[in-house]
Amino acid sequence: MQLEISEITPVLPTSGRASRVFADGVSLLLNRNVRPALQCFYSAQHLGYDIRECAAARWTCWMLLGRFECAWKESELITATGAKDPHQFWNGQSWDGKDVMLRCLHGLGDTIQFIRYAPLLRQTCRSLTAQTHPQLVRLIEGVLGVDRVFTWGPGSGAESFDWDVQMEVTELPRAFRTTISNIPAVTPYIQVSPERIRWASGLFRNHENLRIGISWDAGPWDPLRSIPLEEFSPLFECKNCCFYELQKGADPDRLRRCGAIYDLESYAANVQDTAALILNLDLVITVDTMTAHLAGALARPVWILLPARADWRWMLRRCDTPWYPTARLFRQKQLGDWRETIEEIRAALSVLQESSKGPHGAPGTAAHTKPLSSCR
């Protein structure tokens, strides 16, 4: 049940006390003790701490708990303060019969996750134009309901698009009052041209081994999500598996030192090409990065390794996710220690090998990729 401020035992408000209580809540939240953290954030607000910060912290708590409807109330509370939010584009107005501009200004993974709402949006709006990252333009062109796609910068043609309502893509779950039971989870919701799929298929030759894509670096935004490639070594010892890197800018020397892994991502000019490669794999094993969202959006089997302090979208203690029916979550037990998680992946891979008479998708290993060592 949602905690109300009136349920908190009244105490004498002091700014120092409020700050300490809020800090306690942040510490609890970082350790994913979510319900006690909620209590702290309600108490801190009652003691006079900034209402927007308290509501934003509670928003994260509610999302981790899967209580989306409570999170939207926190969003409304923040909006009601009248404070300007540089991340807020949608002002709550109806989009029925309107020309909608959908801004995709967060990360690549955020765009891929929430572009799923485009068909629902297009059911009632007059037109839907999406502005997104340059490397995503071709991919978003394959989303049902999107009429036009462009990027930013000189020559983008942004001035030629008229719109009545603008929204940021991460605002769509709130706009549709999403709950855990009505997430639009039909996949695939991104289509890749048959020509690009055939192009990717040409990088493989027929073989009975499982093709497994690997992505290990989530970038600098949250280093806790990344895993040193060397820690995947136990997986590379699995027989009848061929591993392919899906990591843009991977160091070839580092790949050679790690053993049986093929260079694949260097052939991809954009994310649509990466999607075509994924569609020719049997399984993707990845940290929490764009690759995880892309594989899930394409309805490919994907195993996602999550840090102990996982992002709100993966909620708590689940090994599945309502966002992606083909995903399986592997959670780190101790922050900074991936050994047990990698061992769980290795055991699951052994089970998969035993239960598989052949590959789940298009079989093959690389013919024209750049082999860095023999495939075991």
The residue assigned the tokens 């592997």 is 330
Q: Do domains 99-175 and 194-371 have the same CATH topology?
A: yes
Helix (H) or strand (E) holding 177: none
Give the model confidence (pLDDT) of 138-182 as tens digits. 999 999 999 999 998 877 776 678 899 999 999 999 999 999 999
Indicate whether 82 pLDDT > 70.
yes
In terms of pLDDT, which residue wins out, 275 or 357?
275
From the CB of residue 8, how many other CB atoms can be counted at a distance below 10 Å? 17
Q: Determine if the pTM surpasses 0.85.
A: yes
**AA letter at 236:** F
Residues 6+ away with beta carbon under 8 Å from 253: none
The CATH code of the domain at 194-371 is 3.40.50.2000
Domain boundaries, the chain: 7-80, 99-175, 194-371
Strands (E) in the chain, as ranges, are 99-103, 127-131, 148-150, 165-168, 204-205, 210-215, 241-245, 262-263, 283-287, 302-306, 327-331, 365-366, 370-371
Give the model confidence (pLDDT) of 106-133 as tens digits. 999 999 999 999 999 999 999 999 999 9
pLDDT at 159: 67
CB-neighbour burial class of residue 190 (10 A; exposed 0-12, middle 13-18, buried 19+) = buried
Going by pLDDT thresholds of 50, 70 and 90, the confidence category of residue 354 is confident
Q: Which residues on adjacent β-strands are paired with residue 127? A: 99
pLDDT at 207: 67
Give the model confidence (pLDDT) of 55-81 as tens digits. 999 999 999 999 999 999 999 999 999
DSSP 132: -
CA 273 to chain centre: 19
Give the model confidence (pLDDT) of 92-101 as tens digits. 999 999 999 9
Tell me which architecture the domain covering 99-175 has in CATH: 3-Layer(aba) Sandwich (3.40)
